[in-house]
Amino acid sequence: MDWIWYVMPWASRYVDRLSHRHLIPRYAARSSAIVAVSEVTKEHLIEFLRVPPDRIATVYTGVGDQFRARRTDDELDAVRERYELPRRYVLYAGAVYPPKNFRRLVQAFAKVGPDLGVSLVIAGGTNRFLSEDELKEPERLGLGDWVRWAGWVDSDTLPSFYQMAEALLLPSLFESFGLPILEAMASGCPVVTSNRYGSKEIAGDAAVLVEPESIYDIADGIRRVLTRPDLRRDLIERGLRHSRAFTWERCAGQTLDVLERIGGEEPRS
């Protein structure tokens, strides 16, 4: 589950509020163990649901092997042609909705991208809670052809998007984990992300961390990655090394350890 609702409730439907206020607390109280995808999630389980720390195991999600495999130039060119991708671009990957900080991302990009001849590609769909004003922010800023909406991209094609991008931009206000961060790193794509919550935890020292509520800080992070080849090379090397620790084999093994530990326990009433 995602902890956005607890940390920053936004436009939740009645059934969503019912679930988070009543059902999930009950499930948490009756569980023998809870697997958290990050230390941030573990802290929130303790803070919001009063779950004892010894009943929570942090198990990081893995990164698919398809993100580690390098595509040939011909394969990349085919994807570029299919999606009409610009020659130079930075990438946003994932659903677009309020906690993802889309408006500030676009405003920060507007200060850097066009001046450097770099476009913004958005690989993901929009959420109904994204306001019409936010959705039209690129148009309002006169970005025109500088922003390319690619829509949802399948998991076999997405690695090509990362490999051709000059950076992943994910300055979210909140992430429990932030899987695109690791997908980008495994693909050899530098990352600019938030200095908060799961983004900071998962990125470690292998990304440029920015203050997500500062348009100028986000823009500065983008500019540094695009104009400093030394920083770019360092981020790629750090990201590749960092992402190797996040495997599905490790995730499965640690989850199995939790299941074996609680297998002989009496169920909670």
The pLDDT, as a whole number, for residue 13 is 62
Residue with tokens 């020659």: 87
What architecture is domain 65-243? 3-Layer(aba) Sandwich (3.40)
Residue 102 identity (one-letter amino acid) = F
Domain ranges of the chain: 4-62+247-262, 65-243
List per-block mean pLDDT (blocks of 10 residues) for the chain, which spans 269 residues: 65 64 86 95 92 96 95 97 97 90 96 98 82 83 93 95 98 94 98 97 97 98 98 98 97 96 72
| 159, 185 Cβ separation under 8 angstroms | no
The model's pTM = 0.92
User: What are residue 58's DSSP bridge partners?
Assistant: 36
CB 191 within 8 A of CB 181: yes
Listing from the earlier edge strand, what are the strands of the sheet with 168-170? 147-149, 119-123, 89-93, 168-170, 191-194, 208-210
Other residues' Cβ atoms within 10 Å of the Cβ of residue 140: 13
